[in-house]
Structure 1
Amino acid sequence: MNLKRFLLVSFLSISTTLRVMSQETSYPIIPKPAQLESMPGKFNWYKNTVIRNGAGISFTDATKELQQITGALKTTTKRPNFILIKKDPSITAAEGYKLVVEPSQITILAANKAGAFWAISTLKQLIGTPAFKVGTGAYVVPAVKIADAPKFAWRGMHLDVSRHFFDLDYLKTFIDRMVLYKFNKFHLHLTDDQGWRIEIKKYPELTSKGAWRKLNGQDSVCLKLAKDNPDYALPEKHFKTINGERMYGGFYTQEEMRGLIQYATAHGVEIIPEIDMPGHMMAATKLMPWLTASGISQQGVTFSEPLCPCKETTYDFAENVLSEIFSLFPSKYVHIGADEVEKDSWKKSEECKELMKRENLKSVEELQSYFVHRMERFLNSKGKKMIGWDEILEGGVSPTATMMYWRAWVPTAPKHAAEKGLDMIIMPGEYCYFDAQQDGGSLKKVYSFDPYNYNLTKAEEKLVLGIQSALWTEYIPSEARAEYMLYPRTQALSEVAWSNADKNWAEFEKRMNAQYPLLDAMNINYRQPDLTGFSPKSVFVNQTVLKVINPLASSVLRYTTDGTKPTVNSTVYNGQLVINKPTQVKIAAFRPNGKIGEVYTIDYDQQSYAKGVSLAKAEKGLKFSYYPKSYKLVTQINEADKKSDAITTAIEIPVKEQATTFGTKHEGYFYAAAQGVYTFYLRADDGSNLYLNNKLLVDNDGLHSAIEKSAQIALDKGYHPFKLLFIEGGGGYTLSLEYVGPDGQRKAVSAADFAHE
């Protein structure tokens, strides 16, 4: 295919599958381009490489970005090569671009500035680590032809700067990394109970006092965790002495925010501000308690006391604040939150009762909608569009609003919103809340996200503007901790948000593994991919060999057997370690820059094969019991709470109308088809315990996000007493059980594995 013909390729075929070659490693680009054709040769980018703008349009910001990249180069040459940025009217896809790298020339074709920036992001990834190191001699760019455009127009990342403050320099770095992975919407959560971060000139105390606090309970948790992990330490730069007291916090002046907005805009990123109301307002109500229905700023039963929707002073305050936000942020969108509203004080307020009667409102949910509708009318009158969390559906909602879907345990919300004609941004917590703790399955979970999987029709799918991540920072006080929680899940979500190419987890994983050196070059404190091939609770009968699968060849594994944490001086793992006595092994991966990954503790126990039991009459399936109560631990499940029972084929919950919180029990016998060591993998959200042979094998108890834990046991062939306890604490659940038997194959448990009498 010659260059002219390639440039005329229609974007109608943009969704075709990327041709599979060795491209996942030769061109490890994330997100995956829709069309990529490898070519022979390479382009050598020197300091005197000429950057040209084609006729018809000036890509000033894109040109500056290329010049900034060039500035890192040291050597020069007289070789006449150049980079051309040119407008291409034939590109009709929004934000689409074409990138052609030849030995003598790089050509960037785009319809607008955004497309040019995404081409440059691809170019940086093609260069690789040298693009992020000062003093590089020359860049080597592999020859290639790429045609690409995004799947979704809204590709967002969210950062909560209220719970813990992040300064402007880091926000610019945050934006740079968004751009590299083609995110274009920066949702900035500026206010909450814990701190008010944006200057409001009409109410200067919101930042002079509301931006600073004495250490709270969440800060104390972080300080405790910091004893073992310095990423949890509160940054000293965010402390200040005010009136003789040491206070923690910070805020942005309006002038500083204008500078950040200008920086973001120049890089193709739109900043969407969030001023959360009527709930999550304690930073303001502590200073102005008359804004609440009770006249007191306090914590309610579940959340903080909200603004009162029945007082005109509330609307005066809200409109004054938002007016300054409107003049500051050019985005047409403003997020008002409207989630997690504690309504008890509204029920007791005489003013609210009068308003509800006057407006014919039948519930406090409708009263919240009254507030939301009134604020939306104000936004619309100023040319702005309102975004709210999916609670805005409760009590009625305007079709002109945009809904952010986050409550995974309300799976009907997107369909409900679509039927009302609402634009939607889909970001359910189970996939998109990156403050949730990670384990070996987290990255694949994010990559599997399908934002259309909510019973939407093809017409309703058009209402999905896109997706975004969320990073709530109650327990994320530092930049290092934020990065650890964001990466590499950010890369997986970027591919879901952008790529029109077919998803392939194994191929993505190869490209992701090739990206880690690039993250090292950017000094990102990412979570390293898991070491696998073992269980933290391992057993052997006579002796065994520890075999560890290391996904990154450039990482060095080091271990100890004396109970201490591995260091860069610990023994190097050479591929296998013979275990012939009870031993504790601690092992970790070290990157070339010395950064350590997760430390894995493996406790080896010597066991004999547990004998099976005889069953008088073995029936397929497990006995199932259901307990519709709230428990914090599976060990609290009480037989007196049991409401129903059944027989299940495997691990399922056969209850059509489930309570918000409940417990379950599966009980019977596991059939070991052959003598050997069995490894069980229990993934649960919330808690779950696995008992085998009447002993606790896997302890995954407590209220938590989806976490996998595993353990081994030596079993003789036959039936073994089995019990699985589970609790759901609200917010949607995960429960799965897999195992590896003597055949070495990991698989989900099935009906063939279980029996009951």
Structure 2
Amino acid sequence: MKHLVNALLAILILTSCSKPDPVDFSIIPYPADLKLGEGQFVLSANTQLLIEDTGDFAQEVEFFQTMMKQALGAELSAEPAENTIEIRKSSVDSNPESYRLEIRSDKVILEAGHPQGIFYGMSTLRQLLPASVETGEVSAQLVLPALRIQDSPKYDWRAMHLDVSRHFFSMDYLHRYVDLLSLYKLNKLHLHLTDDQGWRMEIKQYPELTEQGAWRTFNKHDSICMERSVEDPRFALDPKHIKMRGDAPVYGGYYTQDELKQFVAYAQSKHVEVVPEIDMPGHMMAAISVYPELTCGTPGWGRVFSTPLCPVKEEVYTFVENVLTEVMDVFPSRYIHIGADEVDLSSWDKSSACQQFMKANGMEDVEELQAYFVNRVSDFLMENDRKVVVWDEAISGDIDSSLSIMYWRAWVASVPERVVKKGNEVILAPGDPFYFSNPKAKLFDVYNKQLLSSKFPTALSHKIKGMQGSLWTETIPSEELADALIFPDALALAERAWSSDENQGWNSFKSRLQPQLHRLRTMGVQLDYAPSAELLPFLNVDKDAEQIGVRFESELSEPTVYYTTDGSTPTLESNLYKGEFFVKGSASIAAAAFEDGQLVEPVLKKQVDYHKAIGKAVEYLKPWNTAYPAGDAGTLTDGYRGTNSNSDGYWQGFTNDVEVIVDMGEETDLRSFSATFMQNIGPGIFMPGEVEVLVSSDGEHFTSALEIANDVPADQKGLLFKDFEGSLEGQKGRYLKVIAKNARPGFIFTDEFVIN
């Protein structure tokens, strides 16, 4: 990163002769351009506030004065003073969210062409003030460092999501959520208002949607929460959202249209656009249970998902348009999200009305029927000057190119490429790593993980609309637990979506994060974050020197790390990690962080091999699955090993057998073969039934040299890895054919064929 934040932290801990509060220089997200000046600006209630905006920034100035009153005990003066803060309207037509901030010893100038930019400049100033300003602790003077910032966002869509259907959240929480998003320049709140488990928005034409559809008897996820609450009270259902219906308790709640209008106006004042989602045609059981005639048959559940709306009934479109008309009356957002994910199409397959409609309209399958539904609903919204967002399953049909596609299925890595080639914009919201409801989500991955495959066409990068983190609340019933899962991950997302690539730096972010965690705690955020001591390995294959570089990353700031290369547990007598080191041949790396001379779990284990096949050509007799190309034909002999995620760009996925030929380039004395496979039965990833290695001198006549059976049960849960390895001692050949049998309907994944 071109600005050395650690140095700035040392420089900018400033105090004046009257000992105002120290400054924590910790801006998140990092500005596009920041230059440090000399001196400091001493802020007090006597500082003059000059407004040169012809009234365009009245709302933002009111917000700023409220902040000043909370920090200094009084609003800034309009009278001439020794120093001033000037709010200026720029005549330059720029990005509406950009701003310029200059702090000198006698003057602060905040300039922007639009209210959004002024607000974000004020948010930056707010972060330069001590965290005590958030609590109402009054100071006579506060110090700001002399600097110049020119700032503008990388993406237009910088969003967080909240599912209020699975578990309900109060209006007070929604207001605080907006406050926190706006502080970190996140500009959209995707509000998931309806799902199978509850309808949360009042629809006046259909009052039973909330009278009945907003309430449920306790379901399986409520039971899971209740069980977990015995050990962790954050999993307890909020009694505010439970009432008695007859003799039975029911859970739920909803927002009136007046409440939502007030909330939307509040969010607008903080420049957060609330994007409502009414999920359809699937995930509609809360509505279908009230109006069963909206389905093609009997309401219920398919193998996984609920019965969807019927796409060939006109009364369904009447219902949908009436609902969306009221949604548009409440939400002025440019965007309406209509879901279109996880639709159980089996009821359409079985429906004679659907089959007749498909035949009459030349449709070959129910996916075309899904596209018909999406396009018809989208047309209605677009006729009302709204833009439409859908989840990425919708691309299986021929949908309009004006729709924005929200990419969430991280296990289908080809989605962004397919979306932009169809002409649609894509919003990056992959479940790994941007589903913060997963307690295993890593802050490192949120900040660093590659989201686009190597095949993504860079010429279409302008089609990436932005990024979004999501919080699904099946097992998140309380505001305290929601806080703990959203933060600090949302800050990593905010920087990734706002700051340019060259201004993003993991070490810098870790340093700047610590003061922000303190700020969040003073604001009442229920944080449950401690930096993990887990080390993450990264490899660098150097073909010229025939070696592999190894480096470690972690959430710890400047950890002390010791490592071994023989697989033994590291001690203080082991190798001290001082940066990237190199392995020739093979090494079993074991590494761990140490604090106060003691090893801190977990211990990292990583096999590294510079083997004979690195860089050798691979011929695929059967193709990889295009969703998981990794590094294409070079993947299996490039020296890079996969991580714990099958979508990390190193694991190559297959839905048929793996059958490839490795060309060693010349007749070679062979010693051994090894290939690692993974199993994770949740998303349908299994070990191969067996792996066979055959050897040939001419590439035509192969002799079986090694057979390795799988001994991992197909029903064994969890993330598992197995090395299919064996001896090739005494074998000689130029070509090795490797066959891994796909024994079950699903994926097999492998990352490297180690041949020595």
Same fold (TM over 0.5): yes
Matched, 1:22 2:7: yes
Matched, 1:268 2:271: yes
Find the residue that maps to 1:71 and give its secondary structure: helix
| 1:544-574 deviation line (CA, Å, top 9, x unaligned) | 6799x9xxxxxxxxxxxxxxxxxxxxxxx98
Q: 1:322 to 1:127 in 2, by over 3 A?
A: same
- The alpha carbon displacement at 1:207 in A equals 0.8
Aligned to 1:54: 52
- The alpha carbon displacement at 1:660 in A equals 9.0
Which of 123, 126, 134 in structure 2 is aligned with 1:132? 134
Q: 1:454 to 1:122 in 2, by over 3 A?
A: farther
Q: 1:248 to 1:361 in 2, by over 3 A?
A: same
Matched, 1:437 2:439: yes
Matched, 1:205 2:205: no
What value does the CA root-mean-square deviation take over the aligned residues? 4.7
For residues 328-339 of structure 1, the aligned pairs below 5 Å read 328-339=330-341
Find the residue that maps to 2:337 and give its secondary structure: strand
Find the residue that maps to 1:400 and give its secondary structure: coil
Q: Which moved more, 1:443-452 or 1:521-530?
A: 443-452
Aligned to 2:22: none
- The alpha carbon displacement at 1:219 in A equals 1.2
Q: Tell me, yes or no, if the aligned pair for 2:655 and 2:742 is still in contact at 8 Å.
A: no
Find the residue that maps to 1:485 and give its secondary structure: helix
| 1:715-753 deviation line (CA, Å, top 9, x unaligned) | xxxxxxxxxx999999999988xxxxxxxxxxxxx98xx
CA distance in 1, matches of 2:651, 2:478: 43
Letter in 2 for 1:310: V
- The alpha carbon displacement at 1:415 in A equals 2.3
- The alpha carbon displacement at 1:465 in A equals 1.6
Find the residue that maps to 1:462 and give its secondary structure: helix
Q: 1:166 to 1:315 in 2, by over 3 A?
A: same
Q: Tell me, yes or no, if the aligned pair for 1:434 and 1:471 is still in contact at 8 Å.
A: yes
Q: Tell me, yes or no, if the aligned pair for 1:399 and 1:421 is still in contact at 8 Å.
A: yes
CA distance in 2, matches of 1:227, 1:186: 32
Aligned to 2:281: 278
For residues 164-313 of structure 1, the aligned pairs below 5 Å read 164-294=167-297, 296-313=298-315
Q: Tell me, yes or no, if the aligned pair for 2:209 and 2:286 is still in contact at 8 Å.
A: yes
- The alpha carbon displacement at 1:42 in A equals 2.3
- The alpha carbon displacement at 1:601 in A equals 9.1
CA distance in 2, matches of 1:336, 1:416: 20
For residues 470-489 of structure 1, the aligned pairs below 5 Å read 470-489=470-489
Q: Tell me, yes or no, if the aligned pair for 1:94 and 1:150 is still in contact at 8 Å.
A: no
Q: 1:660 to 1:74 in 2, by over 3 A?
A: farther
Letter in 2 for 1:575: D
CA distance in 1, matches of 2:743, 2:447: 21
| 1:698-727 deviation line (CA, Å, top 9, x unaligned) | 99x9666xx899xxxxxxxxxxxxxxx999
Find the residue that maps to 1:22 and give its secondary structure: helix
Aligned to 2:508: 507
CA distance in 1, matches of 2:246, 2:569: 68
Letter in 1 for 2:212: K
CA distance in 2, matches of 1:180, 1:61: 16
CA distance in 2, matches of 1:398, 1:239: 42
- The alpha carbon displacement at 1:21 in A equals 6.9
Aligned to 1:388: 390
CA distance in 1, matches of 2:509, 2:180: 19
- The alpha carbon displacement at 1:393 in A equals 1.2
Matched, 1:72 2:70: yes
Aligned to 1:493: 493
Which of 410, 421, 424 in structure 2 is aligned with 1:422? 424
- The alpha carbon displacement at 1:242 in A equals 3.0
| 1:25-59 deviation line (CA, Å, top 9, x unaligned) | 74321111111111222223323433332143431
Q: Tell me, yes or no, if the aligned pair for 1:670 and 1:755 is still in contact at 8 Å.
A: yes
Q: Which moved more, 1:178-187 or 1:239-248?
A: 239-248
Find the residue that maps to 1:73 and give its secondary structure: helix
Q: 1:410 to 1:260 in 2, by over 3 A?
A: same
Letter in 2 for 1:485: L
Find the residue that maps to 1:399 and give its secondary structure: coil
CA distance in 2, matches of 1:315, 1:438: 40
Q: Tell me, yes or no, if the aligned pair for 1:274 and 1:334 is still in contact at 8 Å.
A: yes
Letter in 2 for 1:229: D
Find the residue that maps to 2:654 and give its secondary structure: coil
- The alpha carbon displacement at 1:478 in A equals 1.4
Q: Tell me, yes or no, if the aligned pair for 1:408 and 1:731 is still in contact at 8 Å.
A: no
Letter in 2 for 1:402: S
Q: Tell me, yes or no, if the aligned pair for 1:55 and 1:86 is still in contact at 8 Å.
A: yes
| 1:320-376 deviation line (CA, Å, top 9, x unaligned) | 111111111111211100011001111111111111111111100001111111111
Q: Tell me, yes or no, if the aligned pair for 1:409 and 1:732 is still in contact at 8 Å.
A: no
Q: Tell me, yes or no, if the aligned pair for 2:110 and 2:121 is still in contact at 8 Å.
A: yes
Letter in 1 for 2:324: L
| 1:267-319 deviation line (CA, Å, top 9, x unaligned) | 1111111000000000011111111111x221111100100111112111111
CA distance in 2, matches of 1:730, 1:432: 28
CA distance in 1, matches of 2:468, 2:228: 28
- The alpha carbon displacement at 1:102 in A equals 2.1
Which of 154, 157, 167 in structure 2 is aligned with 1:154? 157
Q: 1:279 to 1:374 in 2, by over 3 A?
A: same
Letter in 2 for 1:465: K
Q: 1:68 to 1:40 in 2, by over 3 A?
A: same
Aligned to 2:125: 123
Q: 1:51 to 1:648 in 2, by over 3 A?
A: closer
CA distance in 1, matches of 2:743, 2:51: 58
- The alpha carbon displacement at 1:121 in A equals 1.2
Q: Which moved more, 1:653-662 or 1:520-529?
A: 653-662
- The alpha carbon displacement at 1:188 in A equals 0.6
CA distance in 2, matches of 1:430, 1:118: 29
- The alpha carbon displacement at 1:496 in A equals 1.4
Find the residue that maps to 2:70 and give its secondary structure: coil
Aligned to 1:40: 38
CA distance in 2, matches of 1:660, 1:206: 46
CA distance in 1, matches of 2:569, 2:91: 72
Q: What is the number of equivalent residue pairs in this alignment? A: 621
CA distance in 2, matches of 1:727, 1:442: 34
Q: 1:688 to 1:423 in 2, by over 3 A?
A: closer
- The alpha carbon displacement at 1:452 in A equals 8.4
Aligned to 1:7: none
Letter in 1 for 2:100: K
Q: Tell me, yes or no, if the aligned pair for 2:443 and 2:492 is still in contact at 8 Å.
A: no
Q: Tell me, yes or no, if the aligned pair for 2:275 and 2:333 is still in contact at 8 Å.
A: yes
**Identity, % of aligned positions:** 35
For residues 246-645 of structure 1, the aligned pairs below 5 Å read 246-294=249-297, 296-438=298-440, 441-450=442-451, 455-458=456-459, 460-500=460-500, 502=502, 503-524=504-525, 525-531=527-533, 575-576=596-597
CA distance in 2, matches of 1:87, 1:730: 62
Find the residue that maps to 2:374 and give its secondary structure: helix
Q: Tell me, yes or no, if the aligned pair for 2:446 and 2:489 is still in contact at 8 Å.
A: no
Letter in 1 for 2:384: K
Letter in 1 for 2:478: S
CA distance in 2, matches of 1:166, 1:688: 39
Aligned to 1:93: 95
Letter in 2 for 1:300: G
